[in-house]
Amino acid sequence: MKNQLNLDRLDRNLSFIEQTVGKDWLENWVHHMRDNMGRMQYRVPPLALLWLKAKDELALGQLRGHVVPSESTLRIARLGSNLEALTRVPGYNEQIPLLKQGQQIFLHVEYRLDVAATLARQKLKLFLAHKTGDPDIKLGLSAKEVAVYTIRAEIGGNKDLKDLGLSAIAEDIKAIKPPAVLYVDLPPMAIYTLEQLLTQGAELMAKNIAMPSGIEVILSTIFLDKKSNQLIRSYRPMK
């Protein structure tokens, strides 16, 4: 029953993404890849690649009666769930074309939506960015709005915190007008435990980035929980 629930949930998540971005758009990219025999995949939008891999895993799982999804499939399933949680949020429609873009924009919007969905599930009133220059999210708390920004940190080839793109983070922070809340996502790295990554990441940022007064920083990272076989994003305020 658990495996069937996983299959049903994955099917629902993928179906929602198809309805949202357009199944024709996704399938056109699939035909493009197959016509080129898999060459030039770097030109294919990451959303289309993730969707194709997940559809293949779903089809195989339906034949076998169970599925053990890869991390990439868990990732797009999470995106589908997040989109479904945000359908009634102002600014939602403006996010969809961005999900069809290249790697850099896709990753930023994917994280923005993950944070927004986490807040929406807490029954908080929020608004998503309508245009370039807007905060990623605006939270409506009492009589005031709180600006929320998101940054997905880049990491160098060695997958070590010393290769974290601190200068890029610092430049992004300069563009933020306090008061604001800033979410910074650290990519998972095999050499660190969850605790080590968030603790040492916070220490590294505190030491190397001058943080303006009035900006509350929350670090996050995503990890695979092997017991539930789900991707879970963990958040921690930076003191």
pLDDT tens-digit series, residues 190-239: 889 999 999 999 999 999 999 899 999 999 999 988 788 789 999 999 97
pLDDT band at 145 (very low <50, low <70, confident <90, very high): confident
* Residue 119, pLDDT above cutoff 60: yes
pLDDT tens-digit series, residues 14-64: 999 999 999 999 999 888 877 665 555 558 899 999 999 999 999 998 888
- pTM here is 0.92
Q: Which pLDDT does position 115 carry in this prediction?
A: 97
Q: Which pLDDT does position 7 carry in this prediction?
A: 86
Contact 182, 172 (CB under 8 A): no
Long-range contacts of 46-51 (CB under 8 A, 24+ apart): 46/102, 46/103, 46/106, 46/107, 47/17, 47/21, 47/76, 47/99, 47/100, 47/106, 50/75, 50/76, 50/79, 51/14, 51/17, 51/18, 51/26, 51/76
Q: Which pLDDT does position 225 carry in this prediction?
A: 84
Handedness of CA 173, 103, 238, 133 (dihedral sign): positive
pLDDT tens-digit series, residues 122-134: 999 999 998 878 8
Neighbours of 91 (CB within 10 A): 18
pLDDT tens-digit series, residues 159-193: 788 888 899 999 999 999 999 999 999 998 888 99
Dist. CA 213–CA 203, nearest whole Å:
17
Of 144 and 143, the one with more pLDDT: 144
150: three-class secondary structure by DSSP:
strand
pLDDT tens-digit series, residues 69-108: 889 999 999 999 999 999 999 999 999 999 999 999 999 9
Helices (H), 22-165: 23-35, 46-64, 71-85, 92-99, 103-120
